[in-house]
Amino acid sequence: MLATLVKVVKHKLNNAKYSRQCNFTKVQSAFVRWPKWTACLMECTLKQWTPKANRPVILTFHDVGLNHKSCFETLFNHEDMHEIVRHLPVCHVEAPGQHEEATTLPTAYTYPTMDQLSEVLPSVLNHFEVNSIIGVGVGAGAYILARFALNHPDLVDGLVLININPNAESLMDTVANKITDWTLTLPDRVITHLFGKDEIQANHDLVSTYHHYITTTMNQSNVSQFLRSYNNRNALEIERPVPGGNVNVKTLLCSSLLVVGDSSPAVEAVVDCNSKLNPTKTTLLKMADCGGLPQVVQPAKVIEALKYFIQGMGYLSSASMTRLRSRTTSSCSNMSVDGSRGRAHTNERRRTHSHGTEERRGRAHTDVSMESISTISQNVSNMAELAC
């Protein structure tokens, strides 16, 4: 799986900028090491950048034990992603010391907290003269982007949050982490964070590939510090606004797509996060036959959801969605569908009506198929001014 990832050609140009080419299109990339604290280097790769005031940048943030290559290149190198990257530039951000073959951070260095990492992003956007983003984050990266959106809602148009956990570690989680620290190696601890028990037992090739990658490519000391920082995160303290009640509670103001595999260890956390967000701006996509890395295992289906999500915000024309619509019917049968909203046998008109009715009721969970996302994107397009 990882053998198909693009080989990065490193060029040392000045002290800050690098260039490389991607296998899906020949474009230049900017590679910046962003200092925020002493010895803290935050690496950013920006591709296809032509400043447009009315266009956001897709900004990604990876999970623990990964970097932008191992976390996202399967997704962004997929042929179905071409239509998106032709319209929107992509910026990959990496936490300090998480790039391949990174040197060990100094012993006197204090690794930044999740909150501190989120506060670096405004400086990154300012450096690249970016006005707004559509964030795509996985695990720890999803948490960081959500925190960023809470503190800087004017800079975020939308969020795609994969495996997000909005809660702080419980006492039981803390005890369990202490035990695993004593009994498991770091790669094994990261694997249990990324994959569920069933997936670890059933998908040996994928798990062993990532285990080998973490062991041989990532700096173990740096990964350990990033994992510790994530485990010590604060709760996002978000709350769903209640119609007729307190509508000024703290929550994400932008359109949000929550994604999780049905065998991911983050399922319960993602569903809990969905219950705390505004149902009129949030969609939960639970993917069947999928584990902890849906963007790697089922990239085409994640891209389908992403395209409809971005189109719903008005950034992709309907013409660019033609090929996607032609394949939606064959792929949606593999997706989880909420029975209370009608399964695959309901027609599109009833599905649209059901979606609108449940939003008015303030649904607790939004578990949808690809066809449902198509309907949602059309509804959101009619309310584009509501997107932050």
Mean pLDDT of 182-196: 92
For 319, counting Cβ atoms within 10 Å of its Cβ (0-12 exposed, 13-18 middle, 19+ buried), the class is exposed
pLDDT tier at 17 (50, 70, 90 boundaries)? very low
The SS3 assignment for 61 reads strand
Which residues are registered as beta bridge partners of 362? Answer: none
Provide the residue range defining the domain that includes 97.
Answer: 2-386
Instruction: Give dist(CA 210, CA 200) in Å, integer.
Output: 11
Mean pLDDT of 347-368: 43
Scan for tokens 């975020």, then name that residue. 156
Q: State the total domains in the chain.
A: 1
We report the CATH number of the domain holding residue 51 as 3.40.50.1820
Instruction: Give dist(CA 203, CA 218) in Å, integer.
Output: 22
pLDDT tier at 184 (50, 70, 90 boundaries)? confident
Instruction: Give dist(CA 241, CA 245) in Å, integer.
Output: 7
Q: What are phi and psi of 157, to 5 degrees?
A: -85, -35
Q: Which residue has the higher pLDDT, 55 or 17?
A: 55
- pTM of the shown model: 0.77
pLDDT tier at 336 (50, 70, 90 boundaries)? very low
The per-residue pLDDT for 180 is: 75
Q: Which residue has the higher pLDDT, 226 or 127?
A: 226
What does the pLDDT look like over 248-303, one tens digit per residue?
789 999 999 999 999 999 999 999 999 999 999 999 999 999 999 999 999 999 99
What does the pLDDT look like over 360-377, one tens digit per residue?
434 444 455 444 444 444
